[in-house]
């Protein structure tokens, strides 16, 4: 066993021996190293606990965020489905007055002998229907006299142009095309001059 003596002698196994300067320094270094090691161990333990706490907080935050996003996704899908369903309902409800007018026109056709009044009634119903479609964003594509464009038109026939300036232009429209908010939903079937 080693003891320190105030006279700078070291007692080893019951015998006192003089200490060399290097031995005294080593003993002091050992004491300092021991205290440094315990401080470092405490610091590492504290740091580990802090890191674990931060990890737990971030993990909890991440899990909550994922759950919130999943709820948001489900809610928006549900709202979108309801919007599509109710949007179709609104469009069909707007068509009901036109159907009512058509029913009245059919009844009138069966009983009347004034064909001009029937024509006028049908034209009014048509105008009402076109107005309704315009309110919904549906517009007919103007074709006759326009340059042929494959984005809007479908050529079903090509005929010799009656005049030189009508080459490459649409001469006749067989079926009207329509756009929905500037997106073509049905191409117009046309006859093009060559």
What six digits make up the tokens of 186?
């049905």
The Cβ of residue 144 has, within 10 Å, a number of other Cβ atoms equal to 12
SS3 annotation, the chain: CEEECCCCEEEECCEEEECCHHHHHHHHHHHHHHHHHHHHHHHHHHHHHHHHHHHHHHHHHHHHHHHHHHHHHHHHHHHHHHHHHHHHHHHHHHHHHHHHHHHHHHHHHHHCCCHHHHHHHHHHHHHHHHHHHHHCCEEECCCCCCECCCCCEEEEEEECCCCHHHCCEEEEEEECCEEECCEEEECEEEEEEC
Residue 32: the pLDDT is: 58
pLDDT-derived band at 84, boundaries 50, 70, 90: confident
88-145 per-position pLDDT tens digit = 888 888 899 999 999 999 999 999 888 898 999 999 999 999 999 999 999 999 999 9
- The pTM (predicted TM-score) of the whole model is 0.56
Query: What are the residue ranges spanned by the domains of the chain?
Result: 137-194
pLDDT-derived band at 171, boundaries 50, 70, 90: very high
What CATH fold (topology level) applies to the domain 137-194? Nucleotide Exchange Factor Grpe; Chain A, domain 2 (2.30.22)
Half-sphere exposure of 159 (CA within 13 A, CB side): 12
């Amino acid at each position: 066993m080693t003891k320190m003596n105030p006279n700078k002698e070291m007692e080893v196994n019951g015998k006192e021996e003089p200490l060399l300067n290097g031995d005294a320094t080593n003993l002091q270094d050992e004491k300092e190293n021991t205290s440094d090691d315990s401080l470092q161990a405490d610091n590492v333990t504290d740091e580990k606990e802090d890191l674990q706490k931060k990890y737990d907080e971030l993990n909890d935050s991440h899990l909550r965020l994922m759950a919130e996003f999943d709820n948001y996704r489900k809610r928006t899908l549900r709202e979108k489905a309801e919007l599509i369903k109710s949007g179709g309902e609104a469009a069909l409800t707007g068509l009901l007055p036109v159907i009512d007018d058509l029913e009245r026109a059919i009844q009138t056709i069966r009983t009347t002998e004034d064909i001009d009044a029937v024509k006028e009634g049908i034209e009014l119903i048509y105008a009402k229907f076109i107005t309704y479609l315009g309110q919904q964003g549906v517009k007919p594509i103007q074709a006759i006299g326009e340059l042929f464009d494959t984005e809007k038109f479908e050529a079903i026939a090509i005929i010799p142009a009656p005049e030189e300036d009508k080459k490459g232009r649409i001469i006749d429209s067989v079926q009207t095309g329509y756009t929905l908010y500037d997106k073509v939903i049905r191409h117009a079937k046309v006859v093009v001059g060559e």
